[in-house]
Amino acid sequence: MITDEMRSFFTNEVKERFLRYVQVYTTSDETNPETPSTERQFDLSRMLEAELKELGLDNVYCDDHAYVYATLPAKNGTKGPVFGILAHVDTSPDQPGENVKPVVHKNFDGSPITFADDPELTLSYNDCAELEEFVGHDIITASGLTLLGADDKAGVAEIMAAMATLTKYTDLPHGEIRVIFTPDEEIGRGTVEIDEDVLPQFCYTVDGGYPGELEGECFDAWRADLKFKGVGVHPGYAKDKMINAAAVAGRFVAALPEWQTPERTEKREGFFHLVNLEGDFENASAILIIRDFEVELNETRMELMKSLKDHFEKQYPGLEIELTFKHQYQNMRDIVMQYPEVMNLAEKAMEAAGVEVVRKSIRGGTDGSRLTQLGHPTPNMFAGGMLFHSRKEWIAVSSMAKSVETILNLAKNWSELS
The closest of 241, 332, 245 to 283, measured between CA atoms, is 245
Residue 335: its H or E element? helix 333-336
Please give the DSSP secondary-structure letter assigned to residue 258.
G
User: Rounded to whole angstroms, what are the CA distances from 408 to 252, 275, 413?
Assistant: 51, 39, 9
CA distance 68 to 63: 7
143 within 8 A of 115, measured Cβ to Cβ: yes
Q: HEC states along 270-334?
A: CEEEEEEEEECCCEEEEEEEEEECCHHHHHHHHHHHHHHHHHHHHHCCCCEEEEEEEEEECCCHH
- Verify cis geometry, omega within 30 degrees of 0, for the bond prior to 29: no
What are the φ/ψ torsions at residue 268 (nearest 5 degrees)?
-105, 20
Q: Can you list the alpha helix ranges (DSSP code H) found in 104-177?
A: 150-168
Catalytic residue list contains 90: yes
Q: Residues 152, 185, 207, 347: which is the catalytic one?
A: 185
User: Rounded to whole angstroms, what are the CA distances from 374 to 114, 196, 331, 335, 348?
Assistant: 44, 9, 13, 10, 26
Helix-helix angle 397-415:4-21, to 10 degrees: 120
Q: Residues 49, 90, 186, 217: which is the catalytic one?
A: 90
Please give the DSSP secondary-structure letter assigned to residue 29.
-
Centroid of chain to Cα 84: 17
Centroid of chain to Cα 376: 18
Catalytic residue list contains 185: yes
The angle formed by the CA atoms of residues 91, 218 and 216, to the nearest 5 degrees, is 105
Residue numbers annotated as active site: 90, 185
